[in-house]
Amino acid sequence: MVSVSVPHEPPRPYEVQPGGLPAAAADDGLAIALVDPAGRIGLWSSEAQTLTGHPPSEIIGRDVSVLADRATSHGSELVAQLVRAGDGVRTDWLRCFDGTCRSVRWRAVPVRLVAGTGLVAVASLGGQRIHQGDPAAVDLLLQSSPIGLAVLDKDLRYRFVNDALARLNGLPVAAHLGRCILDVLDLPDPQAYEDMLRRVADGGETIDSLHVAAIRADGTPYAAVGTLFPLRDADGHIVGQAGVVHDLGDARAELLDTARSQRRLELLSRISAALSQGLDVASVAAKLSAVCVPAFARTVNVDLLAGAVHRDPDLPTRTATERAGSAGPDASDGLRVHPLSTSAGSGHREPERDLPPPCAASAPVGECISSVAVVPFRVDEAQEQPHHGIAVPLLAAGQVLGAIAFTRPGGFDPDDVLTMRDIAARTAMAIDNALLYRRERLATLTLQRQLLPARLPDIPWAESAHRYLPAQNGTLAGGDWYDTVQLPGGRIGLTIGDVMGHGLGAAAAMGRYRSSARALLAVGLEPGQLLTRLDGLDDGADNDLPATCACAVYDGVTGDLRLALAGHPPPLLVRPDGSADILAADPGPPVGMGLDHVYEDAHHVVPAGSLLVLYTDGMIEDRSTFLDLEQGIAMLRRAVHNTEASLDEVCDALMAARPTNSADDATLFVTRLTRIQPVTVANRDAHLAN
């Protein structure tokens, strides 16, 4: 026997002279055995007896191979193999005193002894509690089990999924991990299922014989039965939950029917909510596709019949029944449609160009529109399995507006066709409303453009440029206007206004306000007087709308500018040196409210070469971020850096600074104010001589 000492430090490979031994304190719960170079056990701690059951009297002096379940080496050869392997953590099967085996994690630490290099075997008793089986065998069990197994964390996210459950859910394992279970499964009542999962994760409840009907990612339903139970750590705290799931196949047909019905109702509900937000036909198609793909179909294409766009709703047209009754074998030939799906995500467009160019309808769509019937078809896609499609007509008030084509692999069943008809009915109503809205908007824009000045007067000392941008969220055109009037005595009158409201009424009111302001400027009224008279005008219109207005009169000889505001944002003055400030004036209330307000003039001196920027509130409002007036004006102030740039460049820079989420149309009116050069006698004579 060799006398040893046990220093208190972790085991590591180092040399010990006779009488010294690397070890760890016995009170750390370490099982320790000393093996000499010949492979004989020379030291056996009480913890080693606890771990294996071998008493020291039965083990000391014997070859270390007696501890191996299936020894392939003995004596010095086995010691040499273990020394060469290093002192990393090993996992081996150990033969116990009662003949059983257990998996043990241990270290083999080389030591220098008198007779040569031996080793110390060290194993932690506490470290063995979680290794009471072969980890590789456990992994094989989990992955080879025909029963679906899953582990969820406290946030209901997948942490483990075996292959059986991945196949059952129709998604690969990687598509599960880290995702919430409700994002992977399409369940009839997601909130109820989440509440049940919370009862397990938060309350520690075990739920057995749970029957669930769900929808796979490819749209096919399945029924399953399972058990949910909490997972606890060594201290008994719940750290997650596990699920054991078994496919029922067709044994629970009523669950599958319930899942299909619930899924159909939820899909139609989401479609109705999405379509209610579409104010133009392109956005209607885009929102429909966003809801239906991939939940219901692989692709959804909406084709709008070209004739439906320009038809007069007041004129009688052939109903769907009349169209179907008169359809011949070639009735679909020559049909042209607007493929709305191609315009999804195209951004803001002018109302006249908000539809993609018309093209010839495909054979299934043409047949569907001509026959006003559901038409099945087949789509062959390269390098993919064949897709099956269904074309469904769009009918609104008995009129055919176009067709929707759904495609997906695997085809559709009769219940799917019923769902398509419901989808088509909702979509047709939304498109019909959008077309009506579009016609009214185009009429409003046409009227507004006709009422605005065709061109601005050519005044060398007061050049002007303007921009008008309809609202980008699909609302009707408003009542924005601008105008320039050249006045006697080297003066110029500038007005800009915004009628409260949208549509034809606002455009008509805008025309009245603009023509009245122009006439009042022509008779020589100052800005405050003009707004006071404009507020008191009564032309007998029952639907006259209030309006904000800014009026300025500039004297090109002296540089004096008089300004009056009626509830309108103050203009911005950009000086030749690039500094910019707002021109203050008493804002007063909007005109047309019947308040009999007397508007006051504000007086300013404008340096020659300054830019006067007039605008409507659509240039500075951002309702999504609650941008206030001062912040909006500051954005415009920072947009102009070079006052000597062309007015078109200045307008473009200011329009680029406009908030993208403004809900109102925007008008911009920029004038470069210089001075009138006095005409001397010499200049006059030289001019006459030429």
Residue closest to 548 by CA, chosen among 604, 511, 593: 593
**Paired tokens of 672:** 């470069």
Q: Which residue would you say has higher pLDDT here, 21 or 352?
A: 352
Q: How many residues does the chain have?
A: 690
CA distance 355 to 346: 10
> Torsion angle of alpha carbons 172, 175, 178, 179, nearest 10°?
-120
Residue 9 — very low, low, confident or very high, per pLDDT cuts 50/70/90? very low
Handedness of CA 359, 360, 366, 370 (dihedral sign): positive
Checking if the pLDDT of 603 tops 90, the result is: yes
Total Cβ atoms within 10 A of residue 650: 23
Question: Biggest alpha carbon distance in the chain?
Answer: 138
What confidence tens digit (pLDDT) does each residue in 75-85 have? 899 999 888 88
* Single-letter residue type at 544: D
Residue 101 — very low, low, confident or very high, per pLDDT cuts 50/70/90? confident
**Paired tokens of 85:** 């392997």
Provide the pLDDT for residue 451: 66
Provide the pLDDT for residue 142: 81
Provide the pLDDT for residue 4: 35
Q: 242-246, 663-667, 672-676: which range is least confident on average?
A: 663-667
Provide the pLDDT for residue 443: 72
What confidence tens digit (pLDDT) does each residue in 485-503 have? 999 989 999 999 998 877 7
Cα angle 61, 64, 65; round to 5: 130
Residue closest to 353 by CA, chosen among 447, 440, 290, 282: 282
Checking if the pLDDT of 144 tops 90, the result is: no
Q: 51-55, 110-114, 345-349, 615-619: which range is least confident on average?
A: 345-349
pTM, to two decimals: 0.49
Provide the pLDDT for residue 345: 45
What are the start-end ranges of the H helices in 523-573? 527-536
Provide the pLDDT for residue 643: 81
Which range, 16-30, 456-470, 569-583, 634-648, has the best average confidence (pLDDT)? 569-583
What confidence tens digit (pLDDT) does each residue in 160-181 have? 999 989 888 888 988 888 888 8
**Paired tokens of 620:** 């500075």
My answer on whether omega of the bond before 55 falls inside 30° of 0, hence cis, is no
Q: Tell me what percent of the chain is helix, strand and coil, each rounded to the nearest 5.
A: 35, 30, 40
53 by DSSP, 3-state: which?
coil
Provide the pLDDT for residue 161: 92
CA distance 607 to 575: 7
Q: 393-402, 504-513, 538-547, 579-588: which range is least confident on average?
A: 538-547
Residue closest to 534 by CA, chosen among 557, 522, 518: 518
Contact 211, 223 (CB under 8 A): yes
Handedness of CA 123, 128, 134, 140 (dihedral sign): negative
Cα angle 229, 234, 238; round to 5: 35
What confidence tens digit (pLDDT) does each residue in 20-48 have? 444 443 345 889 999 999 999 999 999 99
Domains present along the chain, CATH in parentheses = 28-144 (3.30.450.20), 150-248 (3.30.450.20), 265-342+358-444 (3.30.450.40), 452-673 (3.60.40.10)
CA distance 111 to 248: 61
Q: For the range 317-324, what are the long-range contacts, defined as Cβ-Cβ under 8 Å and sequence gap of 24 or more?
A: 317/399, 319/398, 319/399, 320/372, 320/393, 320/395, 320/398, 320/399, 320/400, 321/372, 321/398, 323/370, 323/372, 323/400, 324/370, 324/371, 324/372, 324/373
Q: Which residue would you say has higher pLDDT here, 470 or 250?
A: 470
Handedness of CA 164, 165, 171, 177 (dihedral sign): negative
Which range, 183-187, 247-251, 474-478, has the best average confidence (pLDDT)? 183-187
- What lies within 8 Å, CB to CB, of 163 at 6+ separation is 143, 173
What confidence tens digit (pLDDT) does each residue in 377-418 have? 988 655 456 678 999 999 998 889 999 999 988 778 888 888
Provide the pLDDT for residue 681: 45
Q: Render the burial of 332-345: b for 16+ CB within 10 Å, e for the rest.
A: beebebbbbbebbe
Provide the pLDDT for residue 126: 73
Tell me the Ramachandran region of residue 503: left when phi exceeds 0, alpha when psi lies from -120 to 50, beta otherwise. left
> Torsion angle of alpha carbons 600, 601, 603, 609, nearest 10°?
140
